[in-house]
Amino acid sequence: MPTSYLPPIEQTTPVLTTAQTRIEISGRRTRTTSTRKPARIQEAVDFWAFAGAASNVVMQLGWPEVAYGVMESKVESGALMSHPWKRARTTAQYLAIAILGDDAEKAAFRDAVNAAHRHVKSDEQSPVKYNAFNPELQMWVAACLFVGIEDTHQLLHGVMSPTDADEFYQSAKTLGTTLQVPEDMWPATRAEFDRFWNIACQRVVIDDRTSDFLNDLVDLRMINPLIRLPFHNLLRFLTIGTLPPLFRDQLGLEWTRKDQRRFERLFRLVSGVNKGLPKSIRFGSSRMLVRDLRYRMKHDRAIV
C-alpha cells in the first residue's frame, strides 16, 4: 500500500498493541465448536451486530481523510448530523448487502454509493486531501466494520479459536470488495490483518474539530431529544464500551474497570437472551434490509 496512507505492511513491531487498538473481551467464555460449524460472518449479522454502530463511525473517522470527507461532504441528503436515520439505514443496509447480498445486489448498491461518493472530495479549503474513491481509505473503513462485527460476535458467542477466527475473517472480505477495495488489498490471513490494523491505527489523529463532531455523535445530539433521552445513558455506555482504548483516549472518554465489569455483565445477559431467540427475530432486521433493497431495485427507487 502507498506509504502516504500506511506505514509499510511488512512492519512486524508496530508501536501500537492490540490492547490499545481492540476492545477487551473476556476469555473466560470460548465459542462452542462441538458441531464444528464453520465460523462465517453471515452468522454475525443479527440485530446486536449493530450495538456498536456509533462507535464504529467514530473509529472510521479516526483517519483525518475520512473525518473531513464526512464533515465537509456536499451530499446533504446523506449528512450524518442532518439525516441520522437515513445514514443509519444506508450504512446498515450496506453491511447487510455486502454480507448477505448476491452479486447483482452488491453491484446495485456499489453503483448507488459511487454516485454519492463522486461528490466527496477535498477542495482548496480542506485542511486535508481526500477522495472517497481512494481504495486505501475504503480499506480502512472496511477494516473498522470488520473489527466492529467481530468484536460484537465474540461478546455474544465467546472468543473464537485461531481456526475459527481465520474462517470468520476469510468470509468478511466483501466488506471492502463490494466497493473499491481490490481483493489483493485485503490482508491474506487473520494474522496479517491484525498487523495491518495495528499499523493502520497509528494514523488515527482526532483534532479539535473532529473531536467536537464525534463527541456530539457519542452523545447522539443529532437525534430528537424526545427519542434520545430515554435511551441516552445505555447507548452512550454501549458506544464507549465498544470503542478501543486508543479512540477513547483521543476523545477524552473515561472508561474504568468498574465500567468494563458492567459491560461484560450486560453482554453475558444479552448473550443468554439472544441464544433463546429464533433466527427469524435475531436476523430479521438484516433480512428486511436485503428485501428493502430488492424492492428499491424492482421499483427503480433511490438506494442511498
Q: Residue holding cell 454516485?
A: 115
pLDDT at position 28 is: 57
Judge contact between 235 and 88, C-beta under 8 A.
Answer: no
Tens place of pLDDT for every residue, the chain, 304 residues?
A: 333 444 444 454 557 999 999 999 986 555 555 445 668 999 999 888 888 888 999 999 999 999 999 999 877 665 666 667 677 888 889 999 999 999 999 999 999 999 989 989 999 999 999 999 999 999 999 999 999 999 999 999 999 999 999 999 999 999 999 999 999 999 999 999 999 999 999 999 999 999 999 998 888 777 666 666 777 888 899 999 999 999 999 999 999 999 999 999 999 999 999 888 998 899 999 999 999 999 999 999 999 8
What CA–CA distance (Å, rounded) separates 265 from 271? 10
CA 184 to chain centre: 21
pLDDT of residue 217: 87
Q: Which three cell numbers stand for residue 137?
A: 481509505
Give me the pLDDT at residue 179, please.
92
Which cell numbers in the block locate residue 193? Answer: 490483518
Q: What is the pLDDT of residue 240?
A: 96
Of the chain, the end-to-end C-alpha distance in Å amounts to: 29
Instruction: Please check whether residue 197 is in contact with residue 9, taking contact to mean a CB–CB distance below 8 angstroms.
Output: no
Cell of 177: 470488495
HEC per residue, the chain: CCCCCCCCCCCCCCCCCHHHHCCCCCCCCECCCCCCCCCCHHHHCCHHHHCCHHHHHHHHCCCHHHHHHHHCCCCHHHCCCCCHHHHHHHHHHHHHHHHHCCHHHHHHHHHHHHHHHCCCECCCCCCCCCECCCHHHHHHHHHHHHHHHHHHHHHHHCECCHHHHHHHHHCCCHHHHCCCCCHHHCCCCHHHHHHHHHHHHHHCCCCHHHHHHHHHHHCCCCCCHHHHHHHHHHHHHHHHHCCCHHHHHHHCCCCCHHHHHHHHHHHHHHHHHHHCCCHHHHCHHHHHHHHHHHHHHHCCCCCC
Question: CA 253 to CA 255: how far, in whole Å?
Answer: 7
Which residues, other chains included, contact 4 with Cβ-Cβ below 8 Å and sequence gap of 6+?
A: none
Residues in the chain: 304
Confidence at residue 42, expressed as pLDDT on a 0 to 100 scale: 93
